[in-house]
Chains A and B, each alone.
Chain A
Amino acid sequence: MGPKIIPKGSSFWGANLSFDRVDSILAAYESGLAGAYSEPEETAALISENKALTGFGSIGEAATSNAWADSGKGQLIFPWVFVLEQFPGCWPGPAQEVGDCVSHNQKNSSLLSMVCEVVAARPDEVTQLLEAIPHVTPAAIEQGVFSTEAIYWWRRHSGHGWSCAAAARVMQRESGLWVRQNYPDLGIDLSTYSGKQTELFGATPPTGKIAEAGKSHLVRAYAQCNSAEERRDALANGYGLSTCGSESFSRDRDANGFSQRTREGWAHAIADIGFDDRPDTIKIYGDSLELKLNSWARWNKGSRDVRDSARLVPPAKRAAWIRCGAVNPITGNLMIPEGAFWVKSRDVAQREVFAVSSVNGWPRRKLLNWGGSLAG
């Protein structure tokens, strides 16, 4: 069975949409805001373009070909920790102010892939160069590290909502990652997230210098995930997942950070940043769990502790991971980010999911020298 997402145009929300509180975001999604919808022709194009580019249309094909199928089997997969380690406090990021969940989801999944690529010292797929974590200001980290507006400007309509496949094609060809900062030479300031700023461009995407700048840090490739096993293995190998679907979930997490699926339904995009395939987790919940990162800031509550995970924290990393909020100093367990929650794999089986393979990142910075001396 293919992905089940509402089709484009079924609930179109025009401009002048503005959320000021989490309750208003929830109310909009629960009354039919189509933040994410399906565009089968965009999905088909994305898959065929990537099949031609990399040889893989799906993560299953990539995993089999590269001998990492089942590499995440039976494990707790926690790549989100590496993002928090590099950019403490970057998640959940600012709450979306308009129906731009797809661009938040694209940014978050790409951020995870970019960080894992650097941390794992995996050379860029095209340049074969090792890359570095970009230097960003603390204010940029607090605002989510990268801009979402500069992705959303390419949605090619003046209202709100988008599809994961169309957004992925934009990130691969037109507008990739933009560090949150002022771009005075382009006449745009992306330092702080703003729903209003998403409306700078819509029906007609940017041209000229902004369009050129958009191509600086494009996503290298995407591959579709067609099963929980493919999602698990993609995350186990450091590939963030962009997902679009129609499921909704409780605002209350249980003692293990898990949220029940609810009846209301949201046409919504939410990135996947972790996976729990441990046998005892499956025994408790009757299924493996997937970690969703929402774009509504601190919208939910409850425990963020990852059950029985203290022993997975390397002793040498414990202090640093406590400092960046990835480990609970009292229990010693890993913690999921604010705004995130675990869901059962079967509850998200019908979402459309794309793994972000790699980003044309930032070169490793070298010092020119050690500064010399005034003494001579």
Chain B
Amino acid sequence: MTTTNNNEQGTPWVLIIGGIVLAAWLFNQAPQPKPSPYSKPQVTVSASLQEMQQVAKAGDKTAVAKLANLYSDFAETLSRVEPGSLQSSQLRTWLINSDTYLIRGTNMVGAVPGFGSAKDKVITEALGLDDRPLDAKDIATAVAACRSIADALGAK
């Protein structure tokens, strides 16, 4: 008898608790959005970015704006790179080539003194100098570094 009474009184609670557990389980089974390798870049560039901001203030405004666009575009391009398909040395070559194509033969040459050194510091702080294949985290870091450079130069 006691057992029957307990069952009669306990059943609704058992059902409620069971329902909560089931709902929680089903929620966990629902497809979760996959974390993007680029969603939370692990990069700290604030120290060297201060130098970049000072370089930008002192430089030619038009040249600074063009460099801001260049690094903004660079971040966009890099975000489409497949992890493992790009080596640090290749990224360096990309940076050098794009800088050359944009600036050589124009009045931008020498227009933003200290930019090259400041830019190198930001990227070195983010990626180091080891020549290696860039994995998803490295690429996310490189994207963030380029965006930070663009922002420091006043990209809109």
Chain A contact residues, CB within 8 Å of chain B: 132, 320, 364-376
Taking beta carbons and an 8 Å cutoff, which residues of B are in contact with A?
A: 55, 59, 63, 67, 84, 88-89, 92-93, 95-96, 99-100, 103-104, 108-117, 119-120, 123-124, 129-131
Contact call B114/A376, Cβ cutoff below 8 A? yes
Main secondary structure of the interface of B (DSSP, over half): helix
CB–CB A371/B103 < 8 A: no
How far, in angstroms, from A366 to B132 measured CA to CA in the complex? 9
The complex places the Cα of A190 from the Cα of B131 at a distance, in Å, of: 26
Interface of A is mostly: loop
* Interface CB pairs A-B, < 8 A, 19: A320-B84, A364-B131, A365-B131, A366-B131, A367-B130, A369-B129, A370-B92, A371-B99, A371-B116, A371-B120, A372-B117, A372-B119, A374-B100, A375-B63, A375-B103, A375-B116, A376-B111, A376-B114, A376-B116
Chain B residues in 8 Å Cβ range of A376? 55, 59, 110-116
Shortest Cβ distance from residue A252 to the other chain B in the assembled complex, whole angstroms: 35
Determine if A375 and B120 form an interchain contact, defined as CB atoms under 8 angstroms apart. no
Give bound CA distance, A372 to B103, whole Å. 12
Contacts of A369 in B (CB 8 A): 120, 124, 129
The one of A367, A368, A370, A375 that contacts B112, using a Cβ cutoff of 8 Å? A375
User: Which 6 pairs show the lowest CB-CB distances between chains A and B?
Assistant: A372-B116, A373-B116, A371-B96, A376-B113, A374-B103, A365-B131
Interface pair B104/A374, CB less than 8 Å apart:
yes
Q: How many Å lie between the Cα of A320 and that of B115 in the bound state? A: 37
Which A residue's beta carbon lies closest to that of B135? Answer: A316
| B113 CB, min distance to chain A CBs, angstroms | 4
Give the Cβ gap from B55 to chain A, nearest Cβ, in Å.
8
- Verify B84–A373 contact, CB threshold 8 A: no
CA A366 – CA B131 in complex, angstroms?
A: 5
Q: Which of A320, A367, A372, A374 contacts B89 (CB 8 A)?
A: A367
> Which one of A366, A374, A376 has the greatest number of beta carbons of chain B within 10 Å?
A376
The reply to whether B108 and A374 form a contact with Cβ atoms under 8 Å apart is yes
